[in-house]
Amino acid sequence: MTERGILIVLSGPSGVGKGTVRKAIFDSGEMDFAYSISMTTRKMRAGEKDGVDYFFRSKEEFEALIESGGLLEYAQYVDNYYGTPLKYVEDTLNSGQDVFLEIEVNGAMQVRSKMPEGVFIFLTPPDIKELKSRIMHRGTDEMAVVEKRLEKAVEEIKMMRYYDYAVENDKVENAVNKIKHIIESEHLKVPRVVNQYRKIIEEM
Ligand SMILES: Nc1ncnc2c1ncn2[C@@H]1O[C@H](COP(=O)(O)OP(=O)(O)OP(=O)(O)O)[C@@H](O)[C@H]1O
Ligand SMILES: Nc1nc2c(ncn2[C@@H]2O[C@H](COP(=O)(O)O)[C@@H](O)[C@H]2O)c(=O)[nH]1
C-alpha cells in the first residue's frame, strides 16, 4: 500500500503573499506536491483562468456542491464562497502525493478537525502597513474591498495560534525556504519513516 501524502495548509491574511510564495515554491521544481484548485463564486480577475486559478462557479452551483458533501471545507469571505473540492484532495493524498491548500482561516480550522494530521502554516506580514500596501499595489480590488480585507486580516491574525508554524513573508525567498524546510522536516518525522520501514520489512 502507498504511504499517504502530507496535506499542507497555507493561510494568512489577504495580500500577505500566499499565492506569490506558493507559486515560487512550485516554480522552484524542488518539491513534489499537487496544488488543490479551489472553487469560488467571486468574479474572475483580469488574467485569471477558470480551472487554473480557481473553478469559478455560480452561487447555486456552489451551494449544490455543499449539499452533496463535495467540499472538504468552505467559507464565506468578503461576500463570496470559497471551498476545497474533496475528491481531488482525497485521491491525491491516497496516491502518495502531498497536497497544498491555500485557504483562509475558517476553512483551515474545518480541515484541522477533519484531517488533524495535516501541517498548518500561517504566513504573516512584516506589519499591517506593509500588508495594506501589498493589497493596494496588487491593484485587483476596489478600495471598499481592500478595507474589508484589512478588517478580516486583523481577525485572521488572531487565529495564528491554532497553526503549527508561523512564517514571516518579509522576502519571498526567505518565506519559500522556510516553508520548504518545514515540509522536508515533516517527511522526516519518525511515525512516517517508521511506517515506510514497516512496509519494506513486510515485503522482505
Ligand atoms: N515578500 C514580498 N514582498 C513584497 N511584495 C510581496 C511579497 N510577497 C508578495 N508580494 C506582493 O503582494 C501582493 C499580494 O500578493 P498575493 O496575491 O500573493 O497575496 P495573497 O496572500 O495570495 O492574497 P489573497 O489571499 O488575496 O489571494 C502582490 O502584488 C505580490 O506581488
Ligand atoms: N476557505 C477557503 N478559502 C479560500 C479558498 N481558496 C482561496 N481562499 C482564500 O480566500 C481569500 C480570498 O481569496 P482571493 O483570491 O479572492 O484574494 C484568501 O485568503 C484565499 O486564501 C478555499 O478553497 N477555501
Q: What is the mean pLDDT of each run of 10 residues along the chain (204 residues)?
A: 89 95 93 94 95 97 98 95 98 96 97 96 95 88 89 93 97 97 93 80 82
Annotated binding-site positions for ATP: 12-19
> Judging by DSSP bridges, how do beta strands 55-56 and 165-168 pair with one another?
unpaired
Residue 14 Cβ < 6 Å to ligand 1: yes
**Interatomic CA distance for residues 13 and 22, integer angstroms:** 14
Pocket of ligand 1 contains residue 126 by CB under 6 Å: no
Angle (CA) 173-176-179 rounded to 5° is 150
3-state secondary structure of 75: strand
Cβ of 15 below 6 Å from ligand 1: yes
Q: CATH topology for 7-36+97-203?
A: Rossmann fold (3.40.50)
Atom 12 (ligand 2) nearest CA: 14
Q: How far is residue 169's CA from residue 161's CA, in Å, rounded to a whole number? A: 17
- Residue 10: its H or E element: strand 7-11
Instruction: Return the pLDDT at 197.
Output: 83
Contact 150, 133 (CB under 8 A): no
For 188, how many CA atoms within 13 A lie in the half-sphere containing its CB? 6
92: left (phi over 0), alpha (psi -120 to 50) or beta: alpha
Q: What are phi and psi of 76, to 5 degrees?
A: -100, 130
Ligand 2 binding pocket mutation candidate from 16, 21, 38, 81 (most atoms within 8 A of CB) = 38
- The span from the CA of 144 to the CA of 188, in Å, is 45
Q: Which of 93, 191, 112 is nearest to 159 (CA)?
A: 112
Entry pTM: 0.94
Q: Where are the domains of the chain?
A: 7-36+97-203
Q: Note the pLDDT of residue 199.
A: 75
Residues 87 and 83: their CA atoms lie apart, in Å, by 12
Phi and psi at 120, nearest 5°, equal -110, 115
CA 103–ligand 2 middle distance (angstroms): 5
**pLDDT at residue 1 in the model:** 62
Surface-to-core class of residue 59, CB atoms within 10 Å of its CB (0-12 exposed, 13-18 middle, 19+ buried)? exposed
Which ligand ends up closest to the CA of 85? 2
Give the Å distances, CA to CA, from 38 to 103, 133, 137, 184.
8, 26, 24, 25
